[in-house]
Amino acid sequence: MYYREIKIQTQCHGKTPKDAASVRATHPIPAACGIYYFEVKIVSKGRDGYMGIGLSAQGVNMNRLPGWDKHSYGYHGDDGHSFCSSGTGQPYGPTFTTGDVIGCCVNLINNTCFYTKNGHSLGMEKLGLQTPGEVVDANFGQHPFVFDIEDYMREWRTKIQAQIDRFPIGDREGEWQTMIQKMVSSYLVHHGYCATAEAFARSTDQTVLEELASIKNRQRIQKLVLAGRMGEAIETTQQLYPSLLERNPNLLFALKVRQFIEMVNGTDSEVRCLGGHSPKSQDSYPVSPRSFSSPSMSPSHGMNIHNLATGKGSSTHFSGFESSCSNGVISNKAHQSYCHSKHTTTSLNVPELNNINVSRSQQVNSYTSNDVDMETDHYSNGVAETSSNGFLNGSSKHDHEMEECDTEMEVDSSQLRRQLCGGSQAAIERMIHFGRELQAMSEQLRRECGKNTANKKMLKDAFSLLAYSDPWSSPVGNQLDPIQREPVCSVLNSAILETHNLPKQPPLALAMGQASQCLGLMARSGIGSCAFATVEDYLH
């Protein structure tokens, strides 16, 4: 949570009694922040005490108090009235003056706002915003708020979550349960956890759509890919699914590029034979000690979305900020309102409403510096800019688990000595030869299917490995990371499933992706409740 503070001093050389000095933030309230709050401390009310705090759209006259003009709302200190785009106010709360801390809370979930005085909520007002408002303050600081806004947010978070939990699912005769079971089952099948899938299907009285043999085949291929034994993987695929790779030359190309990388790595079967190792006895997939407890475990697939989640927060670094202002707009380029949700807000098409958080009108005939000091604090439960492209299609990650098929593991071999192609000269030659074939294949592909920048880059990156004496610690070395086998593995798995007329990604993943996308859409449409819901909350 961030608190901001700044002192605003107006130096007014007012010419007419109607002159008002407004300060408005340059950055609008992000529509999807859900609940937005800021506080202002009135250090001195100035000569006449005409002060207002509130919200206004960009472009509203800055020489007038908020609330008087269209698209603005304000609470005025001299009479305690609230103004809603009108010159005549409604009795709202007490008056305020020097020493008071006034706050303004915008709730974009139910489109209400309320003001606070010295930490006491003064009562809800309906906001007539037709379009989601966008308001921001200009001020940064470290002071905790006088009003307990966190408690208010807790209430709304609970409300939204209760709403989600109690969403009617229209359960007819266990339909819902059956659907959930199908989703789980299809997920297990998709990733090839055949034993679990079988057991699950048995206990829930379902049929597995795919034949067990087929699942086992896919699992075999996946294991080979994930073990870096690409040559065998390609061969097995061609045996089991004869026309698959012929129909997908790009996929075949990608697999072969990966094979090339594994050759450099020294893990591909072709180079391993040459290196004098038994092709089956070595495996370079990283091993985590904890995984050994369940020998029959299939590869475990973490959701891609977890990776995104771990990256959150990195974009909300906050740097100190100074701004000076006199009678006008505070420029605030470094603005980052306090954020906690993960929805992109970069492309907002909604009309913007800015906030005037402090403004005062004053009758001044002489120079008065230090006339008004205001401290404002700011807080928003807002939106961060993390790229959340949702879900990579069917991609999956191994949680460092290691399958124990028929292999014995030599944990140390690849980790102790890292030599090109496992250190064998013959293997290096084989690798070079394979590289040439790959180059030829790439050219042929281009002739047949046209230019493909992705393929081109893939090949280039792979070949770049040879430019370094120690490819593993080179700038392109991450390709050698076993984790890079996963996207390839996933694409291949999806392709195989498609040939069986099965979905190329499991419905469970699809549903999660959709939920994430929905939240993003809500954020862009300014539906505030999205601030209090994330897909991660429901993944335990």
Partner 1 sequence: MACVLEAPLRMSVLSEVTASSRHYVDRLFDLDPQKVLQGVIDMKNAVIGNNKQKANLIVLGAVPRLLYLLQQETSSTELRTECAVVLGSLAMGTENNVKSLLDCHIIPALLQGLLSPDLKFIEACLRCLRTIFISPVTPEDLLYTGPDHQTILFNHGAVQNIAHLLVSTSYKVRMQALKCFSVLAFENPQVSMTLVNVSVDGELLPQIFVKMLQRDKPIEMQLTSAKCLTSMCRAGAIRTDDSCIVLKTLPCLVRMCSKERLLEERVEGAETLAYLIETDVELQRIASITDHLIVMLADYFKYPSSVSAITDIKRLDHDLKHAHELRQAAFKLYASLGANDEDIRKKIIETENMMDRIVNGLSESSIKVRLAAVRCLHSLSRSVQQLRTSFQDHAVWKPLMKVLQNAPNEILVVASSTLCNLLLEFSPSKEPILESGAIELLCSLTQSENLALRVNGIWALMNMAFQAEQKIKSDILRGLSTEQLFQLLSDSDVNVLMKTLGLLRNLLSTRPHIDHIMSTHGKQIMQAVTLILEGEHNIEVKEQTLCILANIADGTTAKELIMTNDDILQKIKYYMSHSNAKLQLAAMFCISNLIWNEEEGSQERQDKLRDMGIVDILHKLSQSSDPNLCDKAKTALQQYLA
Size of the site for partner 1 (CB under 8 A): 17
Smaller CB separation from partner 1, 146 or 465: 146
Min dist CB 529 to partner 1, Å, is 15
Among the listed residues 331, 363, 337, 249, the one whose alpha carbon sits nearest the alpha carbon of residue 531:
337
**Contacting partner 1 within 217-246 (CB under 8 A):** none
Residue 190's identity, in one-letter code, is H
Contact with partner 1 (CB under 8 A) among 99, 119, 174, 276? 119
Strand partners, 140: 5
Instruction: CB nearer to partner 1: give 124 or 449.
Output: 124
- By CB under 8 A, residue 470 contacts partner 1: no
CB of 125 to partner 1, least distance (A): 10
Task: Give the integer Cα–Cα distance in Å for 489 and 495.
Answer: 10
With beta carbons less than 8 A apart as the criterion, state whether 27 and 139 touch: no
Of 331, 358, 356, 324, the closest CA to residue 44 belongs to 358
Contact status: 121 vs partner 1 (CB under 8 A): yes
Torsion of CA 393, 394, 397, 399, to 10 degrees: 140
Q: Which is nearer to partner 1, 37 or 152 (CB)?
A: 152
Least separation in angstroms between CB 377 and partner 1:
16
Q: Whole-angstrom Cα distance, residue 385 to residue 489? A: 30
For residue 111, which phi and psi values (nearest 5 degrees)?
Answer: 55, 55
Helix (H) or strand (E) run with residue 101 in it: strand 101-107
Q: Quick one: which of 18, 97, 124, 443 contacts partner 1 (CB under 8 A)?
A: 124
Binding mask 269-308 for partner 1 (x = CB under 8 A): ----------------------------------------
- Give how far Cα 430 sits from Cα of 262, 327, 435, Å: 12, 75, 9
The CA distance from 285 to 291, in Å, is 13
Q: Decide if 39 contacts 54 (C-beta within 8 A).
A: no
Give the interface segment with partner 1, choosing from 112-120, 246-254, 470-478, 481-489 (CB under 8 A): 112-120
**Any idea which residue has 């706002």 for tokens?**
113
Number of helices (H), then strands (E), belonging to the chain: the values are: 14, 16
Q: Which of residues 145-174 bind partner 1 (CB under 8 A)?
A: 148, 151-152, 154-155, 157-158
Q: Give the residue with the Cβ less far from partner 1, 340 or 430.
A: 340
Half-sphere exposure of 105 (CA within 13 A, CB side): 27
Q: Which stretch binds partner 1 (CB under 8 A): 119-127, 197-205, 267-275, 401-409?
A: 119-127
Angle, helices 425-449 vs 249-265, to 10°: value is 160
Query: Per the structure block, which two tokens stand in for 258?
Result: 């990966």
Comparison of 381 and 493: residue with beta carbon closer to partner 1: 381
CB of 64 to partner 1, least distance (A): 26
* DSSP state letters, 473-511: GSTTGGGGSGGGHHHHHHHHHHHHHHHTT--SS-HHHHH
The answer to whether the beta carbons of residues 23 and 358 sit under 8 Å apart is yes
Taking the least distance from each CB to partner 1, the nearer of 158 and 307 is 158
Q: Among 13, 18, 70, 120, which residue interacts with partner 1 (rule: CB under 8 A)?
A: 120
408 contributes a contact to partner 1 by CB under 8 A: no
Q: Which residues from 320-359 bind partner 1, rule CB under 8 A?
A: none
Which of 23, 42, 53, 122 binds partner 1 (CB under 8 A)? It is 122
Q: Which of 24, 81, 117, 218 binds partner 1 (CB under 8 A)?
A: 117
Identity (one letter) of the amino acid at 520?
G
Tell me the window of 9-17, 116-124, 200-208, 271-279 that interacts with partner 1 (CB under 8 A): 116-124
Which residues sit opposite 41 in a β-bridge?
A: 101, 375
Mark 62-101 with x for binding to partner 1 (rule: CB under 8 A) and - for no binding. Answer: -------------------------------xx-------
406 near partner 1, rule: CB under 8 A:
no
Among 17, 99, 123, 328, binds partner 1 (CB under 8 A): 123
CA distance 523 to 381: 13
* Residues found near partner 1 in the complex (CB under 8 A): 93-94, 114, 117, 119-124, 148, 151-152, 154-155, 157-158
